[in-house]
Amino acid sequence: MRLRILLYGVLVFLLPMGVSAETPMTAAFVRDHQLWIKTGEQEVQVTKGRYVQSPKWSYDGRFIAYINGDEHGEKSDLFIYDTKEKESFQPYQIETSDYKWSPIKNQLAYNSHGVLNVTKMKDGRPKGFENVALGVSGFEWFPNGREFIVSSQSSLRPTGWGPVPLYKIPMNANLDKNKMESFYTIKTREPDLFGIDADFFKWSHDGKWVAFILVPTASWSMDSNTLCVLSNEGKHFQSVGNMLGFKDWMKWAPSANQLAYISGEGRFFVENKKTTIADMPAVIQQKQYTPEGYVDLDLDWYSPEKVIVARSKENKEWDEGPIPTMFTALYAIDIKADEQRQISNPKKNEFDRQPQVVGTNITWLRQNGKKIDVWVKHGLDGKEYKWIENIEEGPIFLKPKE
């Protein structure tokens, strides 16, 4: 027994520093227009001869849905990569740009030219499809995986734009009008609450609230959209604030009904972009955390009390000519202690953006000109290091189920 203990002690001593019992991170990303997967330090190219865009992991990580497009944006064919069989296939011959996996199983829903469909299953893979509803603009699964929240664009009438209807539709509706339940109608008004569409639905951690963006007409939406929240029963609606139409600029806290978003109007990033946190249900309780003279241009929650943002100095002097690059670095905001500090250190001509928290790791994109790499640090005080080189899009992390 004593010998065993001594040998165990020697083995522990010989293990390299920094070895962790955590599962290695897995990410899908796009390089040279192809789909790649990296787990830990192992990197594999999984497609050839395609033009991959927008990869998305399935519920359990067996599948990755992606678009096989082209450089002109004229093609958007839906494909699925099967990590078990190591092959790509088409669930059906579909053109779409809006598709989402079920939160409870490997079933894919997609909007194709206003028709919402769900895939059938064959031999354990998504194959074929069933119609759900017509006239669909935006959609998202309910957390239970049995229904959808669906928006339909408002109608233009002689008196102006009408209200924006939201519906609750079971996934087996099969175009049956009797199964289309009115969920909430957004009664818009100019200029206080104007929009013709709703999209980018995101559920709070407990499923009691859904946040989304109310989108006005095209030119207007470039400068301002309205962030809204709605209760899961469709009874309590509130407008939260104005922001640009970037879905990753609003995120729910991991364990509280707090919504962090980057508020502010104006299509240029040079000023007026502030990290703001709203508490539900009383969204009048809001606080901005971006210091004067700075802008925040990306965010993610690190913990229930800390938010990571990509921050740069304002550039109010810019007025015309080429749009200036905002050289962002990552900052951690402690909303409880009301303290902030810089946590990444890009060099001159580099900037850090798109922070994503994966477990206890903080990941982000570091860009220099057109070159984009993925960087990581373990915890707020870890040492930053390059994890993936030369990507075009992503990474989309496979996050373990709770």
> How confident is the model over 241-260, as pLDDT tens digits?
999 999 999 999 999 999 99
> How confident is the model over 138-151, as pLDDT tens digits?
999 999 999 999 99
> How confident is the model over 93-107, as pLDDT tens digits?
999 999 999 999 999
> How confident is the model over 291-330, as pLDDT tens digits?
999 999 999 999 999 999 999 999 999 988 999 999 999 9
> How confident is the model over 321-356, as pLDDT tens digits?
999 999 999 999 999 999 999 999 999 999 999 999
For position 4, what pLDDT does the model report? Answer: 40
For residue 36, the cross-strand partners are 29, 45
CA atoms within 13 A on the CB side of 293: 0
Sorted by where each begins, the domain ranges of the chain are 24-90, 289-315+326-397
Query: Is residue 3 very low, low, confident or very high in pLDDT (cuts 50, 70, 90)?
Result: very low
More confident position, 45 or 394? 45
pTM of the predicted model, to two decimals?
A: 0.92
- The dihedrals phi and psi of 307, each to the nearest 5 degrees, come to -125, 135
Query: Is residue 7 very low, low, confident or very high in pLDDT (cuts 50, 70, 90)?
Result: very low
pLDDT at 277 over 80: yes
Say whether 347 sits in a helix, a strand or coil: coil
CA separation for the pair 343, 383 (Å, rounded): 10
For position 287, what pLDDT does the model report? Answer: 95
For position 48, what pLDDT does the model report? Answer: 97
For position 56, what pLDDT does the model report? Answer: 98
Q: Which residues contact 81 (CB under 8 A, 6 or more apart)?
A: 35, 46, 47, 63, 64, 66, 87, 88
